Chain A
């Protein structure tokens, strides 16, 4: 296939899901089977396109220098146009690969998860999860009432992600970014009949939106400074040099640093980093495929992708091995802190999905820390492996919940929470496929040595931190990794091992193939994807398989990052934290029967360090107060309206004043009435002379004549 053909194909990758969204909304939404066929076909087409593009990218020598790129004019800006276009370079090719796979698997899984093929529920309502139907006196699961709508929404979601990945500029990246923000709102609030879901949807949207605004400011700044938003025009040596030498005047950052930090704040929101992490655990209110979508395939990965994409900007003025720039230090700090902070919360959660949610936050922290200390390839590697094993874990947890719901339907005791791990236990026998795949995913997350993908990518990050001398980050991440292994084993032990702790767990069932097959596919990647990134100098294994990820992804940057020297300390650390954490997790939890026996149910951790409450008091309440009391009541209704209202009485008062003090006495009485009075008075006093006697008139005339004649003579002639 020619370069041009593949480039053309890239344009088409995002379109099928969008088309599916439109088709389902407009036409097929009454027909459930047709709707999911449309959606899955679309996901398949995009997957196919992504694979073809990926495969062609891998075949090209020095692909980083000859990416698939093209662009068109979109928004005119004076003499130039804001161009939009597509760019597949090694980074986006690698991301496209995992997005294609995870999205397709999630789509297929959703068919089973939403009980396709089951009857409609007895009392199901749109906006609430299905409650089950009765067939021949047996309670069976019922199909999701808004089945078609779900597929429409995740189609739009996938469109947003593909758009973001294939973009060659920040503008369309932002478009995809915002579409995903919207979809996360729609999907987290999918069961809008639940107040918790409605609140979580708004919270997710608002929290990420705060980050987005900073990102938009960053984009505006970047555009103003460079006149372009296209990556390839920004990441030129001259532009970066100029940006890195111009001071921005804020915190001693260079212009490049400030822009990178502003854009990174967008990532903080989207990838749920401290302090904007609060939305992600609540996002578990959405159906489980959505959680997988948000947590692995799309949204949070998009945040990390964006910051990796902006790495040349972030690291402008930094050279390999040198001291980190202020911006990089900031990013590394946020990442490392988030990694350990979220891991501590995960230890105390009992909801199977919430544990995973906090583990996502923590793992994203690893990637952010890696990019902050310049470990570009390690960050990409962990992003990809994490996407695979976290999608696997989420879908696995959905499978567990689904199996537990079977049990709940069977016993009819709806008070049992099918997501609480303390209600589970012993599920390995009931749900073997789910168990084994979940085990693989969990081990990958913990970094189980050598075989799992998570080990290789996490080890890479730790090695980078150690070899380049970022010891604080190294220790922080090592502790976080230890806790990760610990809570993962806690989860596996409580869920699958031991004996069933409730009747419902006893009656749990394995799910249909539409749900288990994606698990199997993803678990292949959760193991196998690690082997493409085995460091060259690794003892025994190094060099057996080429370190493809380093070769390929490294080509994205102008300078290929050097191969890391092997060091035994981080390797040993990796081994100890992973195995130690897993062992300790199993040891502590193997006999625990109820939350009361769990020593880690510390209120402070359980309540997530009271961040929700604190934000409520620090931001939400003051905002409401400020708007309500200060702006609305005091300023608008008080000051501004009062001026108007004073205007009325004041005009009236002035009018009254004029009327009473001037109009009535002067104009009316004096001139108006006065002139009338005078006329009247004159008339009245003249009346007596109007006698009608000619003689009198004549005498009067003669008198007047003489008087006037005398006066004229006296004054004028004399």
Chain B
């Protein structure tokens, strides 16, 4: 037994959350220090894990750990990563690290500047880490029960984080909406999962939630046909699939910056990932039967999200709907069930996670300094926040799939894959490329390069802090390195995809 790296990554945030809650509330900087140290440690561990998987040429599930938990019911704590989940673990580490950095904030009485989290950081970071731990847990769980367990842990703190630290105007509505959607989705999926558990027992006589075992549970075609949709869509709600996407933009807008980053950057991946892992991998026949429906929903989401993003006047709503559009691309890739599409979906999950985290981070920085997110009220940010401007432009280029950035490496295979399945869906989805470019460019022009409105000049907007710059640079680095050297991620995702294709019958 080697070093239990996955358990450490997953439980470190929980431990850290408890430690922070035990610290005195007024020692804000010490609490932040603990948070940053934890996040850094998790990032390094996740990075090490990623590099091990990548450079070791590993395939299948690795770093597996098993601890019996409730043997009578076949529930065990079983962790492991494959080529699909390892990038997502790294993504969570990155978002956690940068999320803590930009939440550290800057407090300046003279300029009425209160960036980051100044109100009860102890509770904030504790809840944030509960969320992070839950997310890690979902990505590494190989046990269906544990996957649900961590899934609920991840969803629950969102309510508190939004309702307490969120934007005053909509936080209660948004928090409730989000909770309703996600819990209903997960209950539907849970019913499906329990049915699968029970059917496996009837088929094979084994009582187990072990997902690797379930892959060979011998579910009949009709069974898969009936249960695929509840399971897949139940999870996909969290992935923001159309028409169940509406919780997400409202949630993004109401959430504080770091939570928005987590929410769009990682949490939505959770939905897509679980839908893939449980829906497609355990019910492959069902996936084949229903892929047309998923593809339809996804194609609608891609274009639909882009259209709505185009007319938003609130910067966060714009990014929120652009997330719907980009997560639609993930689902589109998944729905192809072919090599290119799935690889693209895998890379897109990472790419979109980093990109949207960057967008929300910078929007938060602008909001803290200008006290508005209304695009028509903003202008001239490029002069006062040049570093953030470059970051936002890079994010924009990723968003519109510019070659040389990670977005292209993700979207290109997706389009290839979709073309192989249904060429006209590819054509329809490509409309979004134009619209995405339009809203990104028009908004960059307005927010960053148009003259600064007079009432903004009174705010004496200053530049972002050093920590903010580190966060922006980290996120940009990831997007550029993948764009230029796709082989730092694609071969790994491919190995994960091979496993999925094997379950799909070598399609």
* Interface set of A (CB-CB < 8 Å, partner B): 73-78, 126-127, 171, 174-175, 178-179, 182, 185, 189, 192-193, 195, 198, 201-202, 205-206, 209-210, 212-213, 216-217, 220-221, 223-224, 623-624, 626-628, 631-632, 635-636, 640-641, 644, 647
Contacts and interface: CB of A to CB of B under 8 A. Distances in A.
B71 interface: no
A640 B243 contact: yes
B292 to A, nearest CB: 19
Given A76-B494, A623-B310, A206 B434 contact: yes
A216 B383 contact: no
Contact of A206 (B383, B420, B441, B486): B441
Interface stretch (B88-96, B117-125, B226-234, B401-409): B401-409
Given A78-B340, A206-B441, 15 more contacts: A77-B343, A179-B403, A182-B402, A192-B449, A193-B451, A201-B441, A205-B437, A206-B437, A213-B433, A221-B423, A224-B423, A627-B310, A628-B311, A632-B312, A635-B304
A178 B403 contact: yes
Contacts of A627: 307-308, 310-311, 435
Interface in B290-312: 304, 307-308, 310-312
CB-CB nearest 4 A-B residue pairs: A175-B403, A192-B449, A627-B307, A628-B311
B163 to A, nearest CB: 17
B419 interface: yes
A74 B416 contact: no
A217 B428 CA distance: 10
Given A76-B490, A182-B402, A206-B441, A189 B311 contact: no
Given A76-B487, A175-B404, A636 B308 contact: yes
B339 interface: yes
Contact of A216 (B304, B340, B415, B450): B415
A628 B313 CA distance: 11
Nearest to A631: B307
Interface in B277-332: 304, 307-308, 310-312
Of B404, B431, B494, chain A has the most CB atoms within 10 Å of the CB of B404
A59 to B, nearest CB: 34
A189 B304 contact: no
B273 to A, nearest CB: 21
A520 to B, nearest CB: 37
11 contacts: A75-B409, A75-B412, A76-B487, A178-B404, A198-B449, A201-B441, A209-B438, A223-B416, A626-B307, A627-B308, A632-B311
B499 to A, nearest CB: 14
A178 B311 CA distance: 25
Contacts of A202: 441-442, 445
Contacts of A73: 487
A220 B416 contact: yes
A185 B393 CA distance: 12
B500 to A, nearest CB: 13
A640 B438 CA distance: 25
B404 to A, nearest CB: 6
A73 B487 CA distance: 9
Contacts of B427: 217
Interface string B485-499: 011001100100000
A168 to B, nearest CB: 16
A97 B374 CA distance: 49
Nearest to B310: A627
Chain A contact residues: helix, strand, loop or mixed: helix
Contacts of B144: none
Interface residues of B, number: 49
A508 to B, nearest CB: 32
Contacts of B435: 623, 627
Interface in B410-460: 412-413, 415-416, 419-420, 423, 426-427, 430-431, 433-435, 437-438, 441-442, 445, 449-451
B275 interface: no
B311 A75 contact: no
Contacts, number: 117
Contacts of B308: 627, 631-632, 636
A192 B382 CA distance: 11
Contact of B437 (A76, A77, A209): A209
B397 interface: yes
A209 B442 CA distance: 14
Given A202-B442, A223-B416, A174 B451 contact: no
A624 B438 CA distance: 11
B333 to A, nearest CB: 14
Nearest to B432: A213
B177 interface: yes
Contact of A205 (B441, B490, B491): B441
Nearest to A25: B390
A220 B419 contact: yes
Given A75-B409, A126-B383, A632-B311, A644 B246 contact: yes
B426 A220 contact: yes
A77 B434 contact: no
Contact of A210 (B400, B402, B434, B494): B434
B422 to A, nearest CB: 12
A221 B419 contact: yes
Nearest to B309: A627
Contacts of B445: 189, 192, 198, 201-202
Given A210-B434, A216-B430, A185 B246 contact: no
A198 B450 contact: yes
Given A76-B491, A77-B413, A224 B441 contact: no
Contacts of B307: 626-627, 631-632
B346 to A, nearest CB: 12
Contacts of B420: 224
Contacts of A209: 400, 433-434, 437-438
Contacts of A192: 382, 445, 449
Nearest to B491: A76
Nearest to B317: A632
A179 B441 contact: no
B486 A75 contact: yes
A375 B168 CA distance: 67
A632 B312 CA distance: 9
A74 B435 CA distance: 29
Nearest to A201: B445
A198 B491 CA distance: 41
A189 to B, nearest CB: 7
Nearest to A177: B403
A647 B383 CA distance: 47
Contacts of B434: 206, 209-210, 213
B402 A178 contact: yes
Contacts of A185: 441
Nearest to A626: B307
Nearest to B490: A76
